[in-house]
């Protein structure tokens, strides 16, 4: 099981810079890496969250990649692990770590007046059609 969700958050630079450290403070990741660019003051964070789900006896891993630039935060959430199929694909009624992160992003954006936009990936068929027509 693997899924990717992408968000773009727009707003004042000071508020955008404050968002990600607050997120990591409120929902602490298992591993975290931070890169600061000297050239243009951009920041890149990579955080890994792990959550064990007793109901399906599997660990779910969420990798959170955040690119902080002067005018936006680009957040990419990649969920992996767990089990699929008959045994437990729909048993997950408890809040999982991905929904906690998404709730934080939406709450912080709403509270501080930031613009939140979810990036929707194009279906592969459309991408192939665009390449052929070029």
Q: What are phi and psi of 58, to 5 degrees?
A: -150, 155
Question: DSSP 3-state assignment of 79?
Answer: strand
CA 96 to chain centre: 13
Reference 56, options 21, 29, 96; nearest CA is 96
- Report pLDDT digits (tens) over 5-41: 999 999 998 999 999 999 999 999 999 999 998 888 8
Whole-model pTM? 0.78
- Report pLDDT digits (tens) over 50-93: 988 777 777 889 999 999 998 999 999 998 876 655 454 555 45
């Amino acid at each position: 099981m693997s899924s990717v969700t992408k968000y773009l958050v727009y707003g004042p630079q000071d508020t955008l810079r404050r968002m990600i450290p607050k997120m990591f403070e409120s929902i602490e990741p298992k591993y975290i890496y931070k890169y600061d660019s000297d050239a243009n003051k951009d920041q890149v964070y990579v955080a890994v969250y792990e959550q064990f789900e007793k109901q399906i006896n599997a660990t779910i891993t969420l990798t959170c990649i955040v690119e902080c630039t002067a005018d936006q935060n680009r957040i990419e959430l990649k969920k992996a692990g767990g089990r699929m199929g008959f045994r437990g694909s729909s048993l997950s009624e408890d809040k999982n770590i991905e929904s906690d992160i998404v709730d934080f992003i939406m709450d912080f954006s709403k509270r501080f007046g930031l613009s939140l936009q979810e990036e929707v990936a194009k279906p592969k068929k459309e991408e192939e059609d665009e390449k052929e027509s070029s």
